[in-house]
Amino acid sequence: MTARRPLPTSLHGFAAGDESDLTVVAPWAGPVIDEATGLLKEPIRGKHLIATSVGWPKPGHEPAAIELNQAILAELYVRPGLLGVVLAISEESWNSTRSLSVWEDEEALLGFLTSTPHLAAARRVKELMYDWEGTNWEVDETSVLPTFDEARARLDAVRGPVSPYESLD
C-alpha cells in the first residue's frame, strides 16, 4: 500500500491532485447520447451550455452524502433541458467526485441548480466536503462531448493563480 499524501488545506491544493485514476462511475447518458456507443447521436447545433463541478468529500459522512446524491441524480436524469451527463471519481485525488453535463441553455441549468434536491445538498456542502468548485461555459456547436481534461482546464482558468500567501500544500 502506498502512503497517502497529506490532506490539502486549500482549494488549489485539492485541485492540483493527481487524477490519473479518474474512473467513470456513471457513463454519458441523456437524450443526445447514443446508449450503445456513449457518444453523441449527432452534432449539437446551436448554442448550448457545458457545466462541470468537482468536490472532495469528507470521510464519515457517506450515509448523508449518498442520500443527497440519490435525490440529486433522480432529479438530474429527468430534468428538462439536460442533454447529457457523466460522473467520475478519483480515489487518488482524495476521492474527488466530478460531474460534466451538457444543457440546452442557462435557464435549464439554473432550473436544476435551484431544484429542491440540489439546494438541499448545497446547504450541507461545508459539512460534507473539504472543498468544491464548479463552472459553466457556452458552446456554439459541437460534434464531440466535452472531456474531464477540458473541464479541469476550465476550472483552473476561473479559479485563478495561487496567491503569494497560499501554497499548494
What tens digit of pLDDT does each residue of 73-97 get? 999 999 999 999 999 999 999 999 9
> Is residue 37 a part of any domain in this protein?
no
> Is residue 91 a part of any domain in this protein?
yes
At 113, which CATH number?
3.30.70.100
> Is residue 61 a part of any domain in this protein?
yes
> Is residue 98 a part of any domain in this protein?
yes
Task: Supply angle C-alpha 95, 100, 154, rounded to 5.
Answer: 90
The domain of 84 spans 48-159
pLDDT at 164 over 70: no
> Is residue 126 a part of any domain in this protein?
yes
> Is residue 33 a part of any domain in this protein?
no
- Model-level pTM? 0.91
Structural domain total, the chain: 1
> Is residue 169 a part of any domain in this protein?
no
Per-chain mean pLDDT for the chain = 93
